[in-house]
Amino acid sequence: MRWLVTGAGGMLGRDLRTALAEAGETEVLAASRADLDVTDPAAVRDAVRGADVVLNAAAWTDVDGAETTEQAATAVNGHAVQTLAGAAGKRLIHFSTDYVFDGSATAPYPEDGVVAPVNAYGRGKALGERAVLAAGGYVVRTAWLYGEHGPNFVRTMLRLAASRDTVEVVDDQQGPPTWSYALARQVVALAGAGAAPGVYHGTAAGSTTWCGLARAVFAEAGLDPGRVRATTSDRFPRPARRPAYSVLGHDRWSGTGVAPLPDWRAMLTEAMPALLR
Ligand SMILES: NC(=O)c1ccc[n+]([C@@H]2O[C@H](COP(=O)([O-])OP(=O)(O)OC[C@H]3O[C@@H](n4cnc5c(N)ncnc54)[C@H](OP(=O)(O)O)[C@@H]3O)[C@@H](O)[C@H]2O)c1
């Protein structure tokens, strides 16, 4: 198969390249932002033309920055996805986010849960989702991603552990920490599975808080988890409102032949050697 990966220089994009190589896929056009700006419609149509599968990992991921520059964020997360969807149709696998939900749920959001974003980033991603679904493509929602490449919460905790005695971390948001490499492997499998298009949730099973995740990271690194102190989000005001509950359900994987991702805690243990490298 011929693959196009957009946003191939990002955290997930780089793991998608690895997962494709490990799957023996050799016809991979991995386009970083410098190779393909997804907000350039002519370039997008041109790049998509020869591909059997398009994995769109390009995104504006500065959630707080999107609050003040919503137009620029939506150009990437919404309008560019409309172009990609129009050009690739059912060949497109697009990554979206738990931030399309408002976070008021108390049980995992199903794939057809009501989309009601509470911040500018979420509104742009919701626009992108609608275009992909209207064009018959695939939307893979993920959340709380960490990985070997690029800045993320787990790597930040490892860095802070080396420079501070204690770290204060919010304990009032619930989500599924998810290893980007595990997600990349799952999505490469999805592309080859002949599964029905629509929404899939590419997140770990189970959930914790950011504080719970930080303590697990300390424990995995052989450090005292008691050095992580719980606090609340109102102590750390940020421009973009965060959903309090970001846990997603995984029912749609059944019958696809592709396994849902394992529990977040076991996944972290598996990921840790790569993160500590
Ligand atoms: N990280 C998370 O916790 C998380 C959670 C939920 C959903 N997601 C979704 O998962 C996907 C992958 O995210 P990630 O964590 O891998 O983010 P990332 O590391 O920020 O990667 C995004 C990539 O997109 C590139 N990009 C930005 N604007 C572009 C443009 N106009 N044209 C082409 N490329 C462009 C970025 O390049 P520059 O670095 O040069 O700007 C970056 O390499 C995204 O759809 C994101 O919304 C992520």
Residue in the structure block whose two tokens are 């011929």: 2
**Residue 236 in this model has a pLDDT that exceeds 90:** no
Cα–Cα distance measured from residue 140 to residue 199, given in angstroms and rounded to the nearest whole number: 6
Tens digit of each residue's pLDDT (9 = 90 or more) over 187-202: 999 999 999 999 999 9
Q: Is 121 part of the annotated catalytic residue set?
A: yes
What is the chain's mean pLDDT, rounded?
A: 97
Tens digit of each residue's pLDDT (9 = 90 or more) over 50-75: 999 999 999 999 999 999 999 999 99
Nearest to 275 by CA among 144, 142, 177, 154: 154
Decide: 140 and 187 in contact? Cβ < 8 Å. Answer: yes
Q: What is the pLDDT of residue 189?
A: 98
Tens digit of each residue's pLDDT (9 = 90 or more) over 97-131: 999 999 999 999 999 999 999 999 999 999 999 99
Residues with CB under 6 A from ligand 1: 6-7, 9-13, 33, 36-39, 57-61, 76, 95, 97, 142-145, 150
Pocket test for ligand 1, best of 33, 84, 213, 247 (most atoms within 8 A of CB): 33
Tens digit of each residue's pLDDT (9 = 90 or more) over 121-158: 999 999 999 999 999 999 999 999 999 998 999 999 99
Using a pLDDT cut of 70, give the percent of the chain over it.
Answer: 100
Decide: 261 and 200 in contact? Cβ < 8 Å. Answer: no
CA 226 to ligand 1 centroid distance, Å: 33
CA 33 to ligand 1 centroid distance, Å: 10
Q: What is the pLDDT of residue 277?
A: 84
Q: Please give the average per-residue pLDDT across 9-14, as a whole number.
A: 98
Q: Please enumerate in sequence order all residues whose Cβ is within 8 A of that of 136, keeping only pairs 6 or more positions apart, or say none.
A: 89, 90, 197
